[in-house]
Amino acid sequence: MKESLQKAKVLIDALPYIRSFSGKTVVIKYGGAAMVEDSLKESFAQDIVLLSFIGIRPVVVHGGGPKISMTMERMGKKPTFIHGQRFTDKDTMDIVEMVLGGLVNKEIVYFINSHGGRAIGLSGKDGGLIRAKKKIVRKSTKESGTGAPEIMDLGLVGEVEGIEPQVLTVLEESNFIPVIAPVGVGPKGETFNINADYVASAVAVAVGAEKLMLLTDSPGIIDRKERLIPALDKKKIGRLIKDGTISGGMLPKVDASLKALTAGVPKVHIIDGRVPHGLLLEVFTSEGVGTEIVV
């Protein structure tokens, strides 16, 4: 009886959060270890299905970088990175599209559906979902050594120019769960490889999401003493970037978070995807499992 009462208490404690978020859209960027370990794949899929069943509308945007690199090497093509970003020529883009839109996307759809969900896989090409343009990256004056910024060519790496929300709205209204591969289409029909954090940010803005949640392989944003920072605002983030506390792979996640907040998304959460059922813990408990960012 004691164990049963504890289970009931957990549900009752979650009730205010369920009431608050029911009918709202939550965009989740899925990546890192949560996409690699089988047990985490299962718990992620269960979380998504549970959110859907209680009236929250999840939209999943996924990455897949390690799987792309592994597939490239199997096909005899060595991955090349420039300033942490994958150089994407035409052959690489074909592999990216095959892996993201085929292997990875369909596996996520399978896991969600195997737990009773109604997931549908999409790429940015479907219904003109993601309009993209070539990403221009410039070396700083100091890096180039020429006294002027130098443009680095990353090939078919793109950035989001626009999202067609109607595609997602139609699916959500029919109780389907969109699962999006971050591949976009350029003005001349080019296919672009896009960072999934930025796609998730743009999707969250386009659909008027209540939350954007980015899964990472860290506890969240940590300070110089390796302690989790549970909550931040834009001003504090600026100081942490300036003093180097936020650096490396966390920078694009924070930048994507700030873009979403500036465009009207109320809250962004950077959470530890290695924690089983981390999504539920972040949505339905006051403690959470990561860093919450607000304006």
| pLDDT greater than 60 at residue 244 | yes
Chain segment 255-277, per-residue pLDDT in tens: 999 999 999 999 999 999 999 99
pLDDT, residue 140, reads: 62
Average pLDDT over residues 184-204: 95
Chain segment 148-190, per-residue pLDDT in tens: 667 788 999 999 999 999 999 999 999 999 999 999 999 999 9
pLDDT, residue 147, reads: 58
CA 50 to chain centre: 19
CA 82 to chain centre: 21
What pTM was computed for the model?
A: 0.91
- The whole-angstrom separation of Cα 193 and Cα 97 is 8
pLDDT tier at 283 (50, 70, 90 boundaries)? confident
**DSSP string over 7-37:** HHHHHHHHHHHHHHHTT-EEEEEE-GGGGTS
- The whole-angstrom separation of Cα 10 and Cα 243 is 40
Chain segment 17-58, per-residue pLDDT in tens: 888 888 999 999 998 888 888 899 999 999 999 999 999 999
pLDDT tier at 84 (50, 70, 90 boundaries)? confident
CA 149 to chain centre: 30
Class at the top of the CATH hierarchy for domain 23-79+86-124+164-183+192-294: alpha beta
Residue partners of 2: CB distance under 8 A and separation at least 6: none
